[in-house]
Amino acid sequence: MTDFQFLARQAVATAGEHPGDTAVLLHAATMLLHAGDVAQSVAFARAAVSIAPDDFVALRTLSGVVAAAGDRGEAIHIAKQAVSIAPDNAEIRLHLGALLAANQRWREAVDHLSVHVTCPGVTAVGWRLLASALHQAGDTRRATDAARAAIAADPDCVEYRLNLASLLSHRVLHAQALHEVRIARERAPDNASVWRVLSGLYAALGQRDDALFAAERAVELAPDDPDCRAHLVYVAGLGAVAETGTETGTETGADPSVWSLSRRRPASMRPTSSLATDIATRGRVIYAIMLRDIRTRFGHTRLGYFWAIMEPITHLMTLGMIFYALNHGPPPVGDNLFLFYITGLVPFLMFSHVSHDVMSAAEANNTMLQLPIVKRTDIMAAHAVRQFATELCVGVVIFCVAGLLGERGWPADPLTAMGAIVLLWLLAVGVGAFNLVVVEMFPSYETVYAAFLRLMYVASGIYYSPIAMPDWIREALAWNPILQGIELFRSGFFPQYEPHWLDPAYLLTWVVASIGLGFGLERALRARMVVYT
C-alpha cells in the first residue's frame, strides 16, 4: 500500500528546496491531496499557478484540488481558463463538464462534454456523463444515443446498461429497456440494482409475479439497501391489492408507463379504477416513502427518529432561553416572555422546515423517481406529512413541559390554534412545491430562498407583536401571511388576544393560491423536470 503521508512529506521538503519549480510544487500538491491534506494541497497548487499563470497543467491541478476542497464555483472558473489554453484536450473538457453537471448547469455541461466525445481521448465515462447531462437538459433522445455510445466503449459495465434502460423506460420503450437489463443480469447475476430495475420494468409491463420475484431477489442480494426494500414494499403491497381485486385497472390503450401489477386480462374482467382505490394506492406509496426517509436519515443512529424530534426541541429551547435572558421586560402578550417567544418560534419553524423539505424532496429521492409507481408529488407529500408529524410532536413536547412547570401548556382555543398550524403547514406545502419547480429551473434560487427565510424570521413577529408598532409598520407587516399564521396561533393560545389586523381569510387565500400555483407548475413543467440517472 502506498504511503502517501511519507511521499507528501518528501514532496513538501523538495518543494522547500525548489520554491520556484512549478513541476515540483504541483507534485507536492498532488501528494498532499492523496494524503488528505487538502488545504496544503491548494496552497501549493496556488503557488505554482502564481509562478506560471498560463501553464495548463498548473491550472488543471489547481482546479482539481480546489474542487476537492469544496469550492466548485472557483474550480469551474479555473477549469475554464485551462480550457482556453488547451481547447482540444479531452480530459479538461471531461473535468469541466463533470464540475458543471455537479453544479446542475446542464446546458454548459453538455457543451463541454460534447467536445470531449469528439476528441481522440474520449472515454466511456464521458459518454455516460453526457447522457445524464442531456437527460437533465431535457434531450432524452440524444441522451439515449450517448448512453448507447458509453456501452459501446465499455460493454462490460453493468451501470451503463442500467442507465440506458432508465432512459428507454423514460421514453416508454419498456421492451428495449427490458432487453438491456436482461443483458446486465447475464453479466452480473448477483447485482441487486439489476434485479430492482428488472422488477420495475416487469411491473410496468404488467408481469406481477416476475416483478415480485425480481424484487425479492434484489432484497435477498442486498438486505440492507433501503431502495431495494422500499421497492419490495411497493410490489408486495400493490400485489396484495391486486389479489383482493382493488388494484388500479388499466384500460386498453392506456399509457404503458403506468405501473400496473395486474395480469393482462380482457378489459371486461379487470376491476374498474375508482377515486378511492387511487387514493389508497397513493397513500401506500407515500407511507413507504416516509418509512424509507426515516430509516435512511436516522436508521444509522441509536436514537433513530427520536433525534429528529429532540434536535428542533433543543433548537427551540436554546433560542427561547437566549432571548428570554436578553430581554427582562414584560411580554407583549401573556404573562411569560419565554412562552411568548415559543408561540412564535414553533409555527415559524414548522413553516420553514416543511417548505424547505418539500422544496428538496425530489433531489433527496431521485432514485425513487426512477420507479414507475413513484411520482414527484408522492415524494413531496411524504416529506410534508413526515415533517408535519415531527413538528407537531415537537410542539406537544415543548408545551407539555411548559405545563409541567406551571405555565400555560394548553391553548385557550385549541381549534383556532390547530387551525393556524394547519394553514401554515398548507402554506408551506404550496410554497415548497413552487420552490421545487423554480429550483429545478434555476438551481441558485435555493440560496435566494434561504435569504428570504432569514428575512421572514425577522418580519414574522416571533420576538415582538405588531401591537407595539406604529400604524404604518403594522399595516406593512400585516401583508406577511406567515405573520398572519403566527398571530392566529397566538390568538388561539392566549385568552383575550384578538388583534384587529388578523385576517384568516387573507391567510386562506395565500394557502389556496400557493398550492394551486405550486402543484400547477409542477404538473405543467413535469416533462422538463427530469430525473437524475
Whole-model pTM: value is 0.53
Predicted local distance difference test score (pLDDT) of residue 272: 44
Phi, psi of 29, deg, nearest 5: -60, -40
Nearest 5°: CA angle at 102, between 100 and 106? 50
Phi, psi of 119, deg, nearest 5: -85, 160
Contact criterion met (CB below 8 Å) for 502 and 480: no
In Å, how far are 64, 75, 77 from 55, measured between CA atoms?
14, 16, 15
Q: Where are the beta strands (DSSP E) in 115-218?
A: none
* Among 347, 501, 502, residue whose Cα is nearest residue 411: 347
Predicted local distance difference test score (pLDDT) of residue 469: 80
* Among 11, 38, 35, residue whose Cα is nearest residue 24: 11
Contact criterion met (CB below 8 Å) for 462 and 524: no
Q: What phi-psi label fits residue 36: left (phi over 0), alpha (psi between -120 and 50 degrees) or beta?
A: left
- Write the DSSP string, 368-388: HHTSTT--HHHHHHHHHHHHH
**Averaged in consecutive runs of 10 residues, what is the pLDDT profile of the chain (533 residues)?**
78 88 91 89 92 92 91 92 92 92 88 90 90 87 91 91 88 86 90 89 81 88 83 67 39 35 37 63 80 67 62 70 67 76 87 89 62 76 88 85 78 90 94 89 84 89 80 88 92 85 92 93 73 45
Predicted local distance difference test score (pLDDT) of residue 319: 67
DSSP 139: -
Domain ranges of the chain: 190-300, 304-524
Taking each continuous run of H as one helix and of E as one strand, the counts in the chain are 25, 0
Contact criterion met (CB below 8 Å) for 531 and 170: yes
Nearest 5°: CA angle at 237, between 233 and 239? 120
Buried-state track 347-386, b at ≥16 Cβ within 10 A, e below 16: bbbbbbbbbbbbbbbbeebebbbbbbbbbbbbbbbbbbbb
Give the position of cell 381485486.
245
Give the position of cell 434560487.
445
In Å, how far are 178, 184, 186, 365 from 194, measured between CA atoms?
11, 7, 10, 19
Nearest 5°: CA angle at 207, between 203 and 213? 80
Predicted local distance difference test score (pLDDT) of residue 243: 42
If one counts every other C-beta atom within 10 angstroms of the C-beta of residue 26, the result is 25
DSSP 335: S
